[in-house]
């Protein structure tokens, strides 16, 4: 299919937030799948040099600038869109910005996509499993009613509701990823913070509740799921992206102790114990598997070893 701008038939992908942790991995994956990839970045935001060298084209496209978004969308005329750009830290203190970026910014993007001449084949919106809150039904599937317990989760659920306005116009898929990690994730997030302490050889670490249970995935498995959901394009579906296995922080610490060869002393810091802490968050990936099929999953200890080895290389580099 030749677009109105006369461009070739090579499939095109647009990733918002391509300069972020997940965006870098997804850009590389889609490029390997044969897409020509563009990614929106905010003014002054760096894009990984390897991505640029691999043919990833950055575009100015702040979510709060409707004109810039419309220009980016019309420039690319994408076949596939993955919306990753967001305020993504649960503990972010700027509540107003969390809501404006995650809700109004998504609305701006969907409006721009609906107005362009070339209709994408798939538009994947990255929501969050945090929308389930303190669900107590054991392993959480997509039928569990959302019970968001913090502003980030509420903003993501609001984003999902806003997106429903475009269900008839756009082939929307909502992904609800559970916790995931990997090399390059900021130490503002918990697992990279813990890995960094072990890689430095620190003897102690301050944490919150080590008995909270989380469903951790490898970022490479998450972008694999996103790529397969784009290919399947299950219009109108909401899909968990998760491993289906829960691990407590205590168990994560035990794995890293084996990897690093020593045990770290944990100090419980009341500042890190949140009153609205989601205690148990483990997902069902049955629906994902029914759509994209079975996929190899990286064991969490393998992900932690990858992160630890890369952190040690970086810290020991001259």
> Active-site residue numbers?
152
pLDDT of residue 295: 87
The C-alpha atoms of residue 148 and residue 278 are separated, in whole angstroms, by: 9
pLDDT of residue 53: 45
pLDDT of residue 171: 98
User: Where do the domains of the chain lie?
Assistant: 12-181+216-244+288-292, 190-214+245-281+298-316
Distance from the Cα of residue 22 to its chain's centroid? 5
Specify whether the CB–CB gap between 238 and 164 falls below 8 A.
no
| Cross-strand partners of 126 | 175
pLDDT in tens, 180-221: 999 999 998 999 999 999 999 999 999 887 888 889 999 999
183: left (phi over 0), alpha (psi -120 to 50) or beta: beta
Residue 136 confidence class, pLDDT cut points 50, 70, 90: low
190-214+245-281+298-316 — its CATH code? 3.90.25.10
Q: What is the value of pTM for the model shown?
A: 0.92
Q: CA 220, 222, 224: angle at the middle one, nearest 5?
A: 70
Report the chain's terminal Cα–Cα distance, integer Å: 51
The C-alpha atoms of residue 263 and residue 247 are separated, in whole angstroms, by: 18
Q: Which CATH number fits domain 12-181+216-244+288-292: 3.60.15.10, 3.40.50.150, 1.10.287.110, 3.40.50.720?
A: 3.40.50.720
- Give me 140's structure tokens: 């959480």
Check for a shared fold between 12-181+216-244+288-292 and 190-214+245-281+298-316: no
pLDDT of residue 54: 57
Average pLDDT over residues 255-273: 89
The alpha helices in 54-189, defined as continuous H runs, are: 66-76, 95-99, 105-115, 151-163
Average pLDDT, rounded, for the chain:
90
């Amino acid at each position: 299919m030749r677009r109105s701008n006369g461009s070739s038939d090579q499939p095109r992908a647009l990733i918002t937030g391509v300069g972020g942790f997940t965006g870098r991995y997804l850009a590389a994956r889609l490029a390997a799948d044969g897409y020509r990839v563009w990614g929106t970045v905010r003014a002054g935001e760096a894009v990984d040099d390897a991505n640029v060298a691999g043919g990833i084209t950055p575009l100015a496209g702040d979510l709060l600038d409707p004109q810039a978004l419309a220009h980016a969308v019309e420039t690319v005329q994408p076949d596939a869109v993955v919306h990753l750009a967001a305020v993504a830290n649960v503990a972010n203190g700027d509540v107003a910005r969390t809501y404006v970026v995650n809700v109004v910014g998504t609305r701006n993007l969907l409006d721009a996509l609906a107005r362009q001449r070339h209709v994408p084949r798939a538009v994947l919106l990255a929501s969050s499993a945090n929308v389930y809150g303190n669900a107590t039904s054991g392993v959480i599937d997509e039928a569990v009613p959302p019970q968001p317990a913090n502003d980030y989760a509420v903003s993501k659920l609001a984003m999902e509701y806003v997106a429903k306005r475009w269900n008839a116009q756009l082939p929307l898929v909502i992904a609800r990823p559970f916790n995931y990690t990997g090399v390059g994730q900021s130490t503002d997030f918990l697992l990279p913070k813990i890995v960094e302490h072990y890689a430095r050889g620190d003897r102690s670490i301050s944490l919150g509740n080590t008995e909270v249970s989380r469903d951790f995935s490898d970022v490479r498995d998450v972008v694999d799921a996103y790529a397969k959901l784009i290919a399947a394009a299950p219009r109108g579906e909401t899909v968990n992206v998760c491993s289906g296995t829960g691990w407590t922080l205590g168990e994560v610490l035990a794995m890293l102790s084996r990897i690093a060869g020593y045990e770290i002393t944990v100090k419980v810091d009341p500042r890190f114990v949140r009153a609205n802490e989601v205690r148990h968050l483990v997902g069902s990936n049955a629906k994902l598997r029914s759509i994209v099929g079975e996929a190899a999953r990286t064991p969490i200890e393998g992900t932690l070893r990858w992160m630890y080895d890369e952190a040690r290389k970086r810290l020991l580099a001259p």
